Structure 1
Amino acid sequence: MKERIVVKIGSNVLTRKDGTLDVTRMSALVDQVAELHKEGIEVILVSSGAVASGKTELKIKDKLDTISARQLYSAVGQAKLINRYYDLFHQHRIVCGQVLATKEDFATRRHYLNQRNCMTVMLDNNVIPIVNENDTISVNELMFTDNDELSGLVAAMMGSHKLIILSNIDGIFDGDPNKSQSKVIREIDTQKDQIEEFIQSSKSTAGRGGMQTKYNIARKVAEEGIEVIIANGRKDNILIHLLKDKETLCTRFIPSTKGVSSVKKWIAHSEGFTKGEIHINEGAKDALLGEKAISLLPVGVTKVTGNFETDDIVRIIDESGKQIGIGRTSYNSQKANEIIGKNNKKAIIHYDYLYIEK
C-alpha cells in the first residue's frame, strides 16, 4: 500500500503580515508536495487561505458583520485559492481537485462514507484532493474549530499514515515560544506524557485555532494509530525534511499500536455532532474503562438527557459530570428513558460504536 499523508497548511503559513496571500510560500509548498507525489506518496492537502484570498480582492464600503464578511470573503477567495493551486500543480503536470467540507458531512455515517469514497477515487486517479471548510455555509455551530479539526477528521477517515500540521512555529514548546530558554518538545507519547501545562492558550492571528486545538487534535489522532507532526511551514523544504530526516526540528506524536476500526475513528471525531447524553453509574464506568471490550448496557444507566433518534451520536457522562466517551445509540431518547437501569435489554451503545476516552 502506498504511503498516505495529510498535510494541513495553516492561515499563518499562507498569509503575509498584511493579511494577503503569500504566493511565494504557497508555490514552495506545492513544489514539495509535487516532489512527494512523484515519489509515489499520496498527499491530501487541507488548506486554509480562502478568507485571506478574498480580502485582497474586495474593497467593501459598508461594514459587514463577522459572519457575512466571512461568507463573502471565502466565496470569492476560495475560487481564487483553488485556481492558484490548480495553476501551480499544473506546472508539475499534476491535477488537483477541490473538496469543500462542512461538519454535517461527517455527522452521519452515510455522508462520511460518501466523502471518503470521493477522496479515494481522486487518489486512485492521481488527483490531489485540496480540502477546505465550506465557509460560505459553515457558520456558528456548523463550523469546525478550525482546519486543524478538519485535518484530523480527514486523516482518520482516509486511513492516513501521517498527519502533518504546518504552523508558523517549530512545534510545541516547553514554555513561551518567544523566550530563548524555551525548547521544542521533540516527541510526545500520548499514553504517558502529560504536557497540557506547556500549551499556549493564545490563538493564531490569521486562523481561528491555537496550539491547544492542535494538541487536542494531534493527541486524538495519534491514539488512533496515526503519527502526527507539528512543524514550521515557513521553513524551506520542510515537508521533504520531515519525511526524510528524523532529526528535523518539530514535535512528533508517537502513534498508538492498538488497532482502531474505521467506525471507531468516525465515532472518536463525532463529539461535535452529539444530540444527547447518557449518564452512567460508577460500576458501568469502571467496566467501560477496564481492559475488557464491553458494550454499555441499560442496567448501568442512571439518566438520559436530550432528544435523539436511533443511530444518533451521544455523550457518555459519569457521576461527577465528566465525559468519558461518545457512541452511537441503539435507541431513541424516549425508548432509552424507558429502559434505564433494566436488565436483559440489548446494549444502549454497542462496543463497535463506542469510543472511550482513556
Structure 2
Amino acid sequence: MREAVTTARRIVVKIGSSSLTTADGGLDAGRVDALADVLAAAARAGREVVLVSSGAIAAGLAPLGIPRRPRDLATQQAAASVGQGLLIGRYAAAFARHGLTVGQVLLTADDVTRRAHYRNAYRTLRKLLDLGAVPIVNENDTVATDEIRFGDNDRLAALVAALVDADLLVLLSDVDALYTGDPRKPGASRVDEVRAEADLAGVAVGGAGRAGVGTGGMVTKVEAARIATGFGIPVVLTSAPNAADALAGEPVGTLFHRMSHRPTARLFWLAHATSPRGRLHLDPGAVQAVVARRKSLLPAGITAVDGVFTAGDPVDLVDTSGAPVARGLVNYDAVELPALLGRSTGDLAAELGPGYEREVVHRDDLVLL
C-alpha cells in the first residue's frame, strides 16, 4: 500500500474529457456516476475532496449537433456554454445520491496568476470544504481564450492542489499509467514510480488517449506532476476505472513522489502560477548576483527591457543568451526602465529623487527558475 496516498486527508482529483464522455461527445452518465461514487466514499471516510473536471466543451458537442471538437474559438465557447450546465447538473445529481452538495468554481488564468484573485479563489474553495460541499473546478471556457488551448486542465489541477494545500493529486485519464512510449505499440513498458527527474529519462510523453474529445496528452500530465511534486504533493496518474484503487493506496498507475520540502506559497505562486509580462536582460554580473548570491536586481545590471508591464507585474530575468534564470515582481513600469538602465541607484536618487533608489526587483519578490 502507498502510505503517501492512504495518509492523504485533502485530495484533488482531476478527470479528463475523454473519461467522461461517449465517443460522439455527449456526457456518459454511467461514468459520471461511477466517479461520484468513488469520491463520495472518500468524503464519507473523512477526506476532503476537490474535483477538477474537464468536459464542458465535449458535453456541449452532441446537443449542438457538432460531430467533433471544433477548431474555432467561438464554437468552442458556444459548446462550453451549453456543456458546462449539463456537466455540473449531472454531477449535482450524481453526488446528491450520496447526500452531498457540489459547488461550481469556474476559473480563468487571471484567477491563478493574479495574487488578489488567487487569494479569493482559495477563500471560496476553503469555505466550500468547511461547509461539507464538493468543489468542482473547471476553466471558464465560455470566456477563456488561451486557456481553452491549454493542456486539458492538468496544470490547473496542479495549481489548485497547491492552492488548497492538498496532500495528494490524482490525475485520471483514459491511460492507466505513464509508459516509456505509446502503450498501444509493442515495446512500451509501464513506469510504476517516479522519484526524480532521472526516472523520466527516455520516456516519450506524446498523446496516447482517445482523440477528438480532449486536448491534453501525457506531456501535460507529466508537467502537472512536476509542478505538484515541487510543492511537496505526491501525484498518482492512472485511468478513471482505477480511481477507487488509486485512492485506497493500491499500486495502480504511476506514483510521482513528492520533493522533501515545500517552498513558500508565495514563491511557488510566482514560479508556477504567473505568466511573465516582459523580460529584463541581465549582464553577467547581475546574473551572478541574482542567481549565486541571491541579491536584489538593480538598474545597473540590466542591459535591455522587453514587453509591456506595470509595477507589480511578473517579469522574467534572462541571461546574455536569453534564457530565463529567475522571475520576479517588478517595481517599475516598462516605460520608466530604459532611462534607468546601467545606472547606480545612488546616481538615480541624486538626480531623480529618493523614490528611484529602490530595486528593480527585490530579492523577496524573486524566485530562481
> Same fold per TM (> 0.5)?
yes
- Take 2:195 and 2:297, find their aligned partners in 1: how far apart are those partners? 29
Report the secondary structure of 2:332's partner residue. Answer: coil
Structure 1 residues 291-310: aligned runs within 5 Å: 293-310=294-311
2:226 is matched with which residue: 215, 219, 224? 219
Report the secondary structure of 1:259's partner residue. Answer: coil
- Take 2:199 and 2:298, find their aligned partners in 1: how far apart are those partners? 32
Q: Which residue of 2 aligns with 1:228?
A: 235
User: Which deviations, in whole Å up to 9, do the C-alpha atoms of 1:230-258 show, x marking residues without a partner?
Assistant: 1111x2xx233223335x22222221122
Q: Which residue of 2 aligns with 1:282?
A: 284
1:97 is matched with which residue: 103, 107, 114? 103
Are 2:324 and 1:318 equivalent residues in the alignment?
Answer: no
Are 2:76 and 1:70 equivalent residues in the alignment?
Answer: yes
| Residue 193 of structure 1, CA deviation | 1.6
- The answer to whether the 8 Å contact 1:102/1:142 transfers is no
- Take 1:165 and 1:347, find their aligned partners in 2: how far apart are those partners? 41
Report the secondary structure of 1:130's partner residue. Answer: strand
Report the secondary structure of 2:13's partner residue. Answer: strand
Q: Which residue of 2 aligns with 1:201?
A: 206
| Residue 287 of structure 1, CA deviation | 4.3
1:249 is matched with which residue: 235, 252, 255? 252
Q: Which residue of 2 aligns with 1:332?
A: 333
Report the secondary structure of 2:336's partner residue. Answer: helix
| Residue 261 of structure 1, CA deviation | 1.5
- The answer to whether the 8 Å contact 1:103/1:142 transfers is no
Instruction: State the number of aligned residues.
Output: 349
- The answer to whether the 8 Å contact 1:277/1:316 transfers is yes
Are 2:21 and 1:15 equivalent residues in the alignment?
Answer: yes
- Take 1:83 and 1:142, find their aligned partners in 2: how far apart are those partners? 21
Are 2:281 and 1:260 equivalent residues in the alignment?
Answer: no
Report the secondary structure of 2:220's partner residue. Answer: helix
- The answer to whether the 8 Å contact 1:231/1:250 transfers is yes
Report the secondary structure of 1:198's partner residue. Answer: coil
Structure 1 residues 55-134: aligned runs within 5 Å: 55-59=61-65, 66-134=72-140
User: Which deviations, in whole Å up to 9, do the C-alpha atoms of 1:91-144 show, x marking residues without a partner?
Assistant: 100111101111122232111111111111111111110011111111247764
Q: Which residue of 2 aligns with 1:270?
A: 273
Which AA in structure 1 matches 2:224?
I
- The answer to whether the 8 Å contact 1:328/1:349 transfers is yes
- Take 1:49 and 1:310, find their aligned partners in 2: how far apart are those partners? 37
User: Which deviations, in whole Å up to 9, do the C-alpha atoms of 1:147-171 show, x marking residues without a partner?
Assistant: 1121122112111111111111122
- Take 1:60 and 1:201, find their aligned partners in 2: how far apart are those partners? 27
- The answer to whether the 8 Å contact 2:229/2:256 transfers is yes
TM-score if structure 1 supplies the norm length? Answer: 0.89
| Residue 277 of structure 1, CA deviation | 0.5
- The answer to whether the 8 Å contact 1:144/1:150 transfers is no
- Take 2:94 and 2:268, find their aligned partners in 1: how far apart are those partners? 33
Which AA in structure 1 matches 2:266?
V
Q: Which residue of 2 aligns with 1:351?
A: 363
User: Which deviations, in whole Å up to 9, do the C-alpha atoms of 1:9-30 show, x marking residues without a partner?
Assistant: 0012112223222221111111
- Take 2:291 and 2:71, find their aligned partners in 1: how far apart are those partners? 46
Q: Which residue of 1 aligns with 2:350?
A: none
- The answer to whether the 8 Å contact 2:245/2:252 transfers is no
User: Which deviations, in whole Å up to 9, do the C-alpha atoms of 1:268-313 show, x marking residues without a partner?
Assistant: 2234x321101123343344444x6443333432221112111101
| Residue 39 of structure 1, CA deviation | 1.1
- The answer to whether the 8 Å contact 2:175/2:208 transfers is no
Q: Tell which structure's C-alpha radius of gyration is larger.
A: 2
Structure 2 gaps, min length 5: 1-6, 346-356
| Residue 317 of structure 1, CA deviation | 1.5
Report the secondary structure of 1:334's partner residue. Answer: coil
| Fraction of identical pairs, as percent | 35
Pair 82,251 (structure 1): closer, same or farther in 2 beyond 3 Å: same
Which AA in structure 1 matches 2:267?
K
- The answer to whether the 8 Å contact 1:203/1:209 transfers is no
- The answer to whether the 8 Å contact 1:278/1:317 transfers is yes
- Take 1:141 and 1:178, find their aligned partners in 2: how far apart are those partners? 29
User: Which deviations, in whole Å up to 9, do the C-alpha atoms of 1:177-227 show, x marking residues without a partner?
Assistant: 21343222122234x426264233337522122111111221122112111
Pair 117,314 (structure 1): closer, same or farther in 2 beyond 3 Å: same
